[in-house]
Chains A and B, each alone.
Chain A
Amino acid sequence: MEHTQSAEVLEPVHHESSTKVIWQTFWILLAITVFEVGLAFLHLEYGFMPRMFLNGVFIILTLFKAFYIVARFMHLGSEIRNLIMTILMPLLLFVWFIIAFLYEGHSWKNMRKDLAPGTKVEAPKVPNAEHEPHH
Chain B
Amino acid sequence: MEVLKIATAGSVDDGKSTLIGRILYDTKSLTSDKIEAIEKTSQQKGYDYLDFSLATDGLVAEREQGITIDVAHIYFSTQKKSYIIADTPGHVEYTRNMVTGASTSQVAIILIDARKGVVDQTYRHFFISNLLRVKDIIVAINKMDLVDFSEEKYNAIKLDFEALMQKRDYKDQNITFIPVSALKGDNVVQKSEQTPWYTGQTLLEHLENLNKEDVYNEGTPRFPVQYVVRPKTDEFHDFRGYAGKVYGGQLSVGDEVVALPSKTKSKIKDIYFYDEKYQTASRRTSVTITLEDEINVSRGDMLVKANDLPKIEKQFTATISWMDSENLQTGSKYLLQHGVHKVLAKVDQIHHKINPDYSGNDTEVNALEMNDIALVSFKLNKPIYLDEFKKHRTNGSFILIDTQSNNTAGVGFIQ
Query: Are A and B interaction partners?
Result: no
The residues of B with any CB-CB pair to A shorter than 8 Å are none
The residues of A with any CB-CB pair to B shorter than 8 Å are none
